[in-house]
């Protein structure tokens, strides 16, 4: 379909009319929904809020007849605003593109939603509005949804003295995905700055993850939620480098000890904490015990 260039700058509800597929669908829309949040990939954008403007149009399937003036038979506007709120509180986001994808996916999880237009604009960066717009449909998003969710990963604390090679093949045979947490024993020089000390401690954790990975070619390092979830879906065994996910979270752990990090991560993914020959979570000392974990 050829689209006039001017159509690209219309409001999403007009754009949905221009780009409609075969047949006509009803639409619901949200205009100029403004929220102040912390967002951005640059260091200067951390610890500050900026306004985002959301414009969303959802094309919906035919409403069940008779309607009977029954709100349960329609796609509620709350579905749109709740999707925005959920995407914003799930984790700190660097990119508008990531936020738009999350919102579209949450909206399209509703059975009535067939196609969604999401436009997000930054209002406080420069003289104009900086924005992104995406169009997603239920079929495309449905195919893209991973099936790792609900597998309840095992967050496995691994001490440095453990022979990793003996365990990796066992990790692969378990029905649940496995994510390793290394033992952080690297010293760092403390400073007078609390934020600097937090970063240094997280860097030490990341260094420990890379050190653990170097001990076995079948263990990779993951830092972002996306990498982690992709690894779950692929059945890979990875070790967690926590710095990025901790810094990006709106609700990070209050301290960075091994047990605190392990249970914080388990909460993010509805997982279970296991300690291999170390007193964290469910302590395991032999492969049989590990494989018996439900």
The CATH number of the domain where 63 resides is what?
3.30.1130.10
Is the pLDDT score of 2 beyond 80?
no
- 165 and 220: one domain? yes
* pLDDT digit string, tens, across residues 165-212: 888 888 888 888 899 999 886 677 778 888 888 899 999 999 999 999
Asked whether residue 57 is domain-assigned, the answer is yes
Residue 117 located in a structural domain? yes
pLDDT, one tens digit per residue, over 105-154 is 999 988 889 999 999 999 998 888 999 999 999 887 754 444 455 568 89
Q: Are residues 106 and 217 in the same domain?
A: no
- Judge residue 2's burial from the number of C-beta atoms within 10 Å of its C-beta, 0-12 exposed, 13-18 middle, 19 or more buried: exposed
Pair (196, 72) in one structural domain: no
Q: Convert the pLDDT of each residue in 3-61 to its tens digit.
A: 454 555 566 666 666 665 556 788 999 999 999 999 887 877 888 899 999 999 999 98
Per-residue model confidence (pLDDT) at position 145: 44
- Write the CATH number for 210: 3.40.1160.10
- Report how far Cα 245 is from the mean position of its chain's Cα atoms: 9
Q: For position 209, what pLDDT does the model report? A: 94
Q: Considering all CA atoms of the chain, what is the largest pairwise distance in Å, rounded to the nearest integer? A: 70
In this prediction the pTM is 0.61
Residues 111 and 171 placed together within one structural domain of the fold: no
**Are 214 and 241 contained in the same domain?**
yes
Percent of the chain at pLDDT exceeding 70: 85
- Helix, strand, coil percentages (3-state) for the chain, rounded to 5, are 40, 25, 40
Mark whether 169 and 268 lie in a shared domain: yes
What residues make up the domain containing 177? 154-291
């Amino acid at each position: 379909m050829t689209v006039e260039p001017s159509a690209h700058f219309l409001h999403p509800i007009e754009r949905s009319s221009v780009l409609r597929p075969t047949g006509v669908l009803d639409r619901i829309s949200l205009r100029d929904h403004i929220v102040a949040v912390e967002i951005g990939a640059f260091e200067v954008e951390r610890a500050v809020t900026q306004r985002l403007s959301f414009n969303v149009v959802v094309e919906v399937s035919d409403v069940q007849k008779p309607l009977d003036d029954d709100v349960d038979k329609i796609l509620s506007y709350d579905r749109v605003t709740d999707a925005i709120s959920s995407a914003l509180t799930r984790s700190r986001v660097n990119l508008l593109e990531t936020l738009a994808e999350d919102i579209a996916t949450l909206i399209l999880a509703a059975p009535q939603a067939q196609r969604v237009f999401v436009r997000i604009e930054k209002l406080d960066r420069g003289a104009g509005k900086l924005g992104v717009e995406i169009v997603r449909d239920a079929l495309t998003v449905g195919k893209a949804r991973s099936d790792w969710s609900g597998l309840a990963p095992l967050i496995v604390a691994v001490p440095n003295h453990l022979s990793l090679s003996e365990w990796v093949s066992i990790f692969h045979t378990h029905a649940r995905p496995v994510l390793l947490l290394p033992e952080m024993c690297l010293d760092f020089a403390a400073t007078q700055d609390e934020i600097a000390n937090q970063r240094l401690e997280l860097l030490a954790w990341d260094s420990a993850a890379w050190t653990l990975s170097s001990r076995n070619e079948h263990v990779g390092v993951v830092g972002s939620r996306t990498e982690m979830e992709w690894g779950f879906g692929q059945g890979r065994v990875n070790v967690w480098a926590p710095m990025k996910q901790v810094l990006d979270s709106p609700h990070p752990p209050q301290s960075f000890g091994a047990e605190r990090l392990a249970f914080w991560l388990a909460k993010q993914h509805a997982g279970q904490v296991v300690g291999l020959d170390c007193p964290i979570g469910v302590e395991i000392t032999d492969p049989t015990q590990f494989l018996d974990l439900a």
